[in-house]
Structure 1
């Protein structure tokens, strides 16, 4: 799911239409007569029971007498039409009828104001972003100063959906700044929108700044993990690790990919043993699959930490899952590091039998060194001769070959003397 769609879904929950209330308001407007009131009440009653069609039929009968009704009565009738069409999911018709409400003059300011805001919300949800902005501009003429944040946020969403990111950012920043000035916590959705805007504008540091506010004000697993991901993008590995450790302490690390992310953060912060132990434990507790890739990572981390025997044990598990000889070759090298030359030769042979090696040169080099250590100089010479044919290790192999030949010649001379 794209970030744009996700943000639209989050903000769609804002759309709240107030069901028409049949209360008479007489300030500067005509009265709502009892007869009209009764007919509208009947329509509302049917809609409340779930029979919207019957409610619309009653309204149609009322509409036939529209010429004899005053502006307030007609406005209330259009209001009921709009609400019922909205209930049926017909947003286009709902907008048309709500516009009829605000076009009636005179009507109570409260009705005009609430209807204009509903129109702005409906137009936004229907993808009519410029119309939504237009309705908001009319609404602002009736709103008080402390209500303006509502308009700024909806405008920000409309401009965001219109790809006018900087304009959208200006409005959402105004809303957040107003909340800050009042020492109030900005609404969670406002921060989500601000984050999305910075993301669209490739402003990664600003995304991180917003995520820091989200984890502070609305501590959720997704925010902690997203913040860690942003720090990784910014190559701020220490901050990434600190956030992931905090997430782990709060029980937010659950998915396999999250355990892998934590282990990698340890590894990149030069904590390979902790990286290996973290993923190893996660696999043992079935929090993450003991896949070839995960086993390989653990083995490499143990190797980096110079925990060679642990690395051998994990590489053996990985080797059982594959047909190639690369892991056997790694085991051979590790046994060489451990000073176990016989086992190094055993796994070097296994690697050659399996084949499909990524670096045969390194394997022949390790094999030659193990043979050299065992004073099997003639065989060592043969291994180094094979190794020197591989460019990656050719120079090193030639040096070892020269030494192995000298040792072999010396061995031969000693044998003759004996």
Structure 2
């Protein structure tokens, strides 16, 4: 996980919280930051941080900055050996430096122990304690110790004189969310967002991401949709448009789902293979197959969509729905070549039959029967029989219609065609006899 704060910012944060600003060691004395200490003495009496102690701590920090972590820890260990002569404030600062050095060396467990020791030293400046408690909450969140996040934030709240800042509530919400306490997380993140908006400020994007995730886990799609509408308006990110479309689909509002996806497509946000296929499906189911087929065709041509069985088959079916059989045939032919069963060849046979391409209908029906695994084996027999009839091959046609008659789903139409072909065959035979006599 990315570090919560940079090394210098971490050090400056705590030093500034104690003194009001980062100050050089030469200025640290019993009189330093008199106004700051006078203010803090209103709530607690804090001992002085002596310059000789701060000088040693500063030496440790310098060594750490130069990459000599071992040397820095050795310096702090020397300071620690003299804790019997140090006051609570000095010991707290010592542990504070241990914490930052361990943190920047990515020894997070040791950093947590050190920062925890800071707030155990009492009395120390209230702002110093508060900033350390907040850092502890952040570090425990990073380490996955979610209960400790809430514990340290609640202790922070006992020291706070004013309103609880939204960022604290967000941190609590994060911890509760990660700990699967979604109702509690919802309360805190809602408060943080509402308070920020009440001040005329735009909520941080990450806050809304968390709020959306919380309500998704609570299975409240209407609320998730509302949050995504806000995110689309505020941030206009492609992923939020796609997610919003998905939520409309989950809510059964398919027309809005299509409208959002189409708007996203027009803005250039529908780019992934999955999103393109989903939009094509929406066009298909909302009776706009031509748009869906053109979208699929372009994506297959430019390589966004893989030329696989699913995509070729769906493109063919979409062209069929658009009543563009001449365009459906190439797609279904590609799909049929990749299919192990005969279903697509059977579909092709029917299309060829409907477009009066008798020989191709016969060939496709034969491929379908050869591959097998058909939902209705009677269909290719029926198609082949009808195509043979149209080429004047009555006897062969009757053989195929007899096969189709064996299957319940095609029996009725096969029997009708069988009677028709038999009548045509008889008529032809009579004409031949008449001509020969």
Provide the TM-score with structure 1 as the length reference: 0.89
Counterpart CA distance in 2 for 1:47 and 1:103 is 24
Give the structure 1 partner of residue 314 of structure 2. Answer: 297
Give the structure 2 partner of residue 127 of structure 1. Answer: 144
Counterpart CA distance in 2 for 1:400 and 1:145 is 89
Give the structure 2 partner of residue 239 of structure 1. Answer: 256
Counterpart CA distance in 2 for 1:67 and 1:108 is 20
Counterpart CA distance in 1 for 2:92 and 2:68 is 22
Tell me which of 359, 366, 373 is aligned to 2:376: 359
Unpaired runs of 5+ in structure 2? Answer: 16-21, 24-31
Give the structure 1 partner of residue 185 of structure 2. Answer: 168
| Counterpart mapping for 1:150-229 below 5 A | 150-229=167-246
Give the structure 1 partner of residue 116 of structure 2. Answer: 99
1:261 aligns with 2:275: no
Preserved CA contact (<8 Å) 1:25 1:31: no
Preserved CA contact (<8 Å) 2:366 2:380: no
Preserved CA contact (<8 Å) 1:361 1:392: yes
Counterpart CA distance in 2 for 1:212 and 1:134 is 34
2:320 alignment partner, SS class: helix
Give the structure 2 partner of residue 18 of structure 1. Answer: 10
Counterpart CA distance in 2 for 1:242 and 1:144 is 50
1:132 alignment partner, SS class: helix
Tell me which of 304, 309, 318 is aligned to 1:287: 304
Give the structure 2 partner of residue 142 of structure 1. Answer: 159
- 1:377-417 deviation digits (Å, cap 9, x = unpaired): 33332222111212222233223323333333343344444
CA shift for structure 1 position 144: 5.6
Counterpart CA distance in 1 for 2:80 and 2:123 is 18
Give the structure 1 partner of residue 364 of structure 2. Answer: 347
- 1:196-240 deviation digits (Å, cap 9, x = unpaired): 212222222322222222222222222222223333333322222
Counterpart CA distance in 1 for 2:237 and 2:107 is 35
Preserved CA contact (<8 Å) 1:140 1:148: no
Give the structure 2 partner of residue 403 of structure 1. Answer: 420
Aligned-residue CA RMSD (Å): 2.4
Unpaired runs of 5+ in structure 1? Answer: 1-8
- Aligned in 2, Cα 1:196/1:372: closer, same or farther, shift over 3 Å? same
Give the structure 1 partner of residue 332 of structure 2. Answer: 315
1:65 aligns with 2:57: no
Tell me which of 82, 91, 110 is aligned to 2:127: 110
Aligned length: 408
Counterpart CA distance in 2 for 1:390 and 1:290 is 35
Counterpart CA distance in 1 for 2:3 and 2:212 is 18
State which drifts further: 401-410 or 297-306: 401-410
CA shift for structure 1 position 355: 4.6
Counterpart CA distance in 1 for 2:159 and 2:276 is 53
CA shift for structure 1 position 170: 0.9
